[in-house]
Structure 1
Amino acid sequence: MFVRSAEIADEKFLWAMLYEAAYARAQGIDSPDDLRDIPGLGHFVEGWGAANDLGVIGGFDGVPLGAAWLRSLTSEDPGYGYVDDDTPELAIGVAPEGRGTGLGTALMSALLDAAREKYDAVSLSVRLENPARKLYQRLGFVDVDGSDHTNRAGTTSVTMILRFR
Structure 2
Amino acid sequence: MAPQHTVLRAATTEDDSFVIEMARHACVIEDRPLPDFDDDEVLEMLPPDGVVPIIAADHSGTLVGAVWTYYGSPPLRCDAAGLPLPELCIAVAPGRRGVGIGGMLLDALFTDLATTHDTMCTNVHVRNPAKRLYERKGFRVVGQGNGPLGLALIKDLR
TM-score tier by shorter-chain length is 0.7 to 0.9
List 4+ stretches of structure 1 deviating above 6 A: none
Cα deviation, 1:99-147, whole Å, max 9, x if unaligned, reads: 1221111011111111111112111111112221111111111112243
Change (3 A) 1:119 1:54: farther
Q: Which residue of structure 2 lines up, in the alignment, with residue 11 of structure 1? A: 16
C-alpha distance in 2, partners of 1:26/1:58? 23
SS class of match (2:23): helix
Whole-Å separation in 2 of the counterparts to 1:146 and 1:44: 19
- Which of 75, 78, 84 matches 2:74? 78
Cα deviations by residue, 1:30-82 (Å, 9 ceiling, x for unpaired): xx6x14233x431211xx4612x142110211111100111134xxx236xx1
- The percent of aligned pairs where both chains have the same amino acid is 28
Q: How do 1:113-152 and structure 2 match up within 5 A? A: 113-147=111-145, 149-150=147-148
**Secondary structure, aligned partner of 1:104:** helix
Counterparts of 1:110 and 1:27, CA distance in 2: 28
The residue correspondences of 1:97-112 to structure 2 (distance < 5 A) are 97-112=95-110
Contact 1:54 1:115 in 2 (8 A): no
Aligned to 1:22: 27
TM-score by length of 1: 0.78
TM normalised by structure 2 equals: 0.81
Q: Secondary structure at the match of 1:101?
A: coil
CA contact (8 A) 1:59 1:98 kept: no
Give the secondary-structure state (helix, strand or coil) at the position aligned to 1:69: strand
Question: Alpha-carbon deviations, 1:140-159, whole Å to 9, x = none?
Answer: 11112243632xxxxx1211
Tell me how large the CA RMSD over aligned residues is: 2.2
Is the 1:8–1:49 contact (alpha carbons within 8 Å) kept by the matching residues of 2?
A: no
2:45 counterpart residue number = 44
| Contact 1:58 1:66 (8 Å CA) reproduced | yes
Write the distance in 2 (CA, Å) between the matches of 1:4 and 1:134.
25
Distance 1:54 1:144 in 2: 27
**Contact 1:83–1:123 under 8 Å retained in 2:** yes
1:26 deviates by: 4.0
Corresponding residue pairs, total: 148
Tell me if structure 2 keeps the 8 A contact 1:7–1:49. Answer: no
Which structure 2 segments of 5+ residues have no match? 1-5
